[in-house]
């Protein structure tokens, strides 16, 4: 049911185990009330969105001793008719269904919310005939990053860097701490090796030129307004050609779903959105035992 499930590390099952332990640290009083009678529960979607997070949902119920059958494939757009639509069935003892209910719903709701925003941003890019990358950022929830990055991917967006070890991104604090963009890039290149890209956050075209001359692979034009970034992107590309390298240009900083189209310009290779994970409305799911 999920073409992206094979990407997940085997250790993600331990994360689910830890979340279950957090939610049920001692006695399960509600589970005692309902007992172990075999039941089937229906998963309903009650608001529009992109379904995402199936492997995590499945694993929650696998660990509680239940099974799940799905009626809708991951990545599909759900538009509830008459208030709700059936998405899946969970089978197992009543207390074990309720044991995993809230954790599974929390994961699915947020993951689907992120996938939905990613899909909308990707659709804006397609309407604008934008050939660049629509990406998330590392503005993720501690402990929940894998789920959030997974949602971006299901929605059709790029995950950007997964963590601090994936790519070198030199921001203003790095530059201030080392004294200059040039020194920061040189220090990074000394340890990063040939396989790791170096990106530099730049506040002006002068900083972008310094980053290119120092050997940066990606220049982030941060908090530029659309009219300024249109010109700056062309200048950055020209400077890259002049030094014999293809430099990627990323637009970032305060770009929202409403303003995204203004940044989908020639010369922009990547647009990153912190809003892909921040302040994202969740998709509304509920799980009801059939009766």
- Cα 52 to chain centroid distance, Å, stands at 11
Distance separating alpha carbons of residues 111 and 114, to the nearest angstrom: 5
**Residue 114 dihedral angles phi and psi, to the nearest 5°:** -65, -45
Residue 105's contacts (CB-CB under 8 Å, 6 or more residues apart) are 285, 286, 287
Residue 90: both structure tokens together: 């969970």
Residue 40's contacts (CB-CB under 8 Å, 6 or more residues apart) are 89, 90, 91, 289, 290
Which secondary-structure segment (H or E) carries 20?
Answer: helix 12-23
Longest Cα–Cα distance of the chain, Å, equals 73
* Residue of 46, 89, 139, 171 with catalytic role: 139
**Residue 50 dihedral angles phi and psi, to the nearest 5°:** -100, 125
Question: Are 155 and 56 contacting, i.e. CB atoms less than 8 angstroms apart?
Answer: no
CB atoms within 10 A of CB 42: 16
Q: What is the DSSP string of 219-244?
A: EEEET--HHHHHHHHHHHHHHHHHTT
Distance separating alpha carbons of residues 162 and 164, to the nearest angstrom: 7
Is residue 89 part of the annotated active site? The answer reads no
Strand partners, 219: 200, 249
Q: What is the DSSP string of 159-203?
A: ---SSTTTSEEE-HHHHHHHSSHHHHHHHHHHHH-TTS-EEEEES
- Report, as residue numbers or ranges, the catalytic residues: 139
């Amino acid at each position: 049911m999920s073409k992206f499930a094979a990407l997940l590390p085997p250790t993600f099952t331990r994360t689910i185990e830890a979340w279950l332990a957090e939610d049920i640290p001692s006695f399960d009083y509600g589970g005692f009330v309902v007992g172990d009678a075999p039941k089937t529960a229906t998963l309903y979607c009650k608001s529009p969105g992109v379904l995402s997070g199936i492997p995590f949902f499945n694993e929650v119920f696998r660990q509680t001793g239940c099974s799940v059958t799905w009626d809708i494939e991951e990545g599909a757009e759900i538009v509830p008719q008459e208030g709700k639509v059936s998405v899946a069935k969970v089978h197992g003892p009543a207390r074990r269904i309720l044991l995993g209910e809230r954790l599974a719903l929390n994961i699915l709701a947020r993951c689907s919310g992120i996938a939905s925003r990613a899909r909308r941003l990707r659709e804006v890019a397609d309407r604008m005939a934008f050939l660049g990358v629509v990406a998330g950022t590392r503005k993720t929830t501690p402990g929940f990053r894998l789920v959030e990055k997974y949602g971006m991917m299901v929605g059709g967006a790029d995950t950007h860097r997964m963590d601090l070890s994936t790519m070198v991104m030199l921001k203003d604090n790095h530059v201030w701490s080392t004294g200059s963009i040039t020194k920061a890039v040189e220090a990074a290149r000394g340890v990063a090796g040939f396989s790791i890209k170096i990106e530099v956050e730049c506040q002006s075209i002068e900083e972008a030129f310094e980053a290119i001359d120092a050997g940066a692979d990606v220049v982030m034009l941060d908090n530029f307004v659309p009219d300024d970034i249109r010109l700056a992107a062309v200048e950055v590309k020209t400077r890259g050609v002049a030094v014999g390298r293809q430099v990627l240009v990323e637009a970032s900083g305060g770009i929202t779903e409403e303003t995204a189209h203004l940044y989908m310009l020639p010369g922009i290779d990547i647009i990153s959105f912190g809003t892909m994970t921040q302040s994202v409305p969740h998709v509304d799911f509920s799980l009801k035992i059939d009766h």
